[in-house]
């Protein structure tokens, strides 16, 4: 995807803030965009490495951490579908049924992780 669009971060955050305008001001400390860039990089790492306990623990820990920033667990987990929708839009015909199935499977597991008690 990077070959086609370069950095996907602007499109992803545009979509996030269109869906949840109240979240944009939460990034007030991020004057350079580096926090947003890091957050997205880490979210992609978690998606790629979802079988590892590190990614699972990380998602649980950040869910709690983000409540401290004013981000509810529901909002927190919505980041992943927003990333998927942006990738799907950008890839257009390059988006296959297999790609969709792989995302669906991961999104289900992330939702289960986010809302499990741990």
Among 5, 9, 26, 50, binds ligand HEM (CB under 6 A): 26
Q: Does 47 bind ligand HEM (CB under 6 A)?
A: no
* Cβ atoms within 10 Å, residue 29: 8
CB 77 within 8 A of CB 114: yes
Among 12, 13, 66, 84, binds ligand HEM (CB under 6 A): 66
Tokens at residue 116, please? 């499990």
- Of 88, 62, 69, 75, the closest CA to residue 1 belongs to 88
Query: CA quadruple 49, 51, 57, 63: dihedral positive or negative?
Result: positive
Q: Does 23 bind ligand HEM (CB under 6 A)?
A: yes
Among 44, 54, 69, 115, binds ligand HEM (CB under 6 A): 69
**Interface contacts to ligand HEM, rule CB under 6 A:** 16, 23, 26-27, 29, 35, 38-39, 42-43, 46, 59, 62, 65-66, 69, 71, 75-76, 78-79
């Amino acid at each position: 995807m990077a070959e086609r669009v370069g950095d996907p971060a602007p499109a992803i955050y545009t979509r996030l803030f269109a869906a949840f305008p109240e979240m944009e001001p939460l990034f007030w400390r991020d004057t350079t965009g580096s926090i947003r860039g890091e957050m997205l990089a880490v979210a992609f790492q978690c998606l790629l490495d979802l079988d590892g306990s590190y990614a699972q623990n990380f998602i649980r820990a950040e869910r709690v951490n983000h409540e401290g920033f004013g981000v509810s667990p529901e909002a927190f987990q919505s980041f992943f579908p927003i990333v998927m929708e942006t990738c799907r839009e950008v890839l257009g015909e390059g988006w296959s049924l297999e790609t969709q199935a792989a995302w669906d499977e991961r999104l289900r597991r992330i939702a289960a992780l986010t809302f499990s008690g741990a």
